[in-house]
Structure 1
């Protein structure tokens, strides 16, 4: 005998909210030019409000963008992924990894151009987030450079990043 499934009120509320979000996105796109949506996303992602930034990252993760739009968005997303505030770094990293399948060259080019500035930071949190991002994107040459920097650091916490990542992953 199959037992009838009853969903909790929370689950039903979540489903309704997801449907409403999709409806709002559709109406926004229908009423506004796609450029307006992109400009709104760009404006909001620069905002320091972490909840709004997370909403934008989810929209970026789940929607397609042109190569030109990704050229503009990618440096911002990289900064969020490597930022010492971890609230949105995981979500930003997921955006980059998802986009890397279709736009590898854009993400690679932007990250490479920003890489030396990240290395100059001498910040253990930045190095840790950067190491995680490089692992997921599988950029071995940049990982090697970062690990060399960590290994030769005078800061014990940064040397620990080298130890942890080389033991845990194929760096």
Structure 2
């Protein structure tokens, strides 16, 4: 005797929506302007659109040329004040789909001085987290020196926090 599964109407509704989403994602991946659409969503100030694009980036692989275009945008999002999207962008940068470390290092190094010009403690904190996860010790050291010598006590606190918490 087999028991017939009993599912709530909410469960059935979720399963149907999940199936529709999977089909939509499959169809979207086949479009000619997928990369342009993702780039547009990332550059949009709408956090919901950004997070949708970040999911695509995290789950898909891209060509080197596309990664060269995406990487600076992802770095900017990763050091942004929006913590949810920052975390997601950081995950994209360190994910297996983004296994092109030379591109990330090159782009981050070229952006680094501009990021250090900021006086925003949140940018410094997100940058420190990103550098920790990417394991870029030389850039971490430069950032920590800048934090340690800052006149802003909140930025000095980042130095104190990160040197205690992590191997900086």
TM score, norm. by length of structure 1: 0.88
1:7-27 CA-partner distances (Å, limit 9, x unpaired): 666555444433322210212
Counterpart mapping for 1:138-157 below 5 A: 138-157=135-154
Q: How many equivalent pairs are there? A: 166
Q: Unmatched 5+ residue regions in structure 1?
A: none
- Aligned residue for 2:18? 18
Alignment root-mean-square deviation, CA: 2.1
Do the aligned residues in 1 keep the contact of 2:78 with 2:126 (CA within 8 Å)? yes
Alpha-carbon displacement from aligned partner over 1:34-67 (angstroms, at most 9, x marks no partner): xx11111111111111101100000110011111
1:76 aligns with 73
Match of 1:48 in 2: 45
Which deviates more, 117-126 or 12-21? Answer: 12-21
Structure 2, unpaired ranges of 5+: none
- The CA deviation at 1:72 is 0.4
* Paired residues for 1:90-101 under 5 Å: 90-99=87-96
Find the aligned partners of 1:113 and 1:100 in 2 and give their Cα distance.
22
Q: In the TM superposition, what is the alpha-carbon distance from 1:101 to its structure 2 partner?
A: 5.7
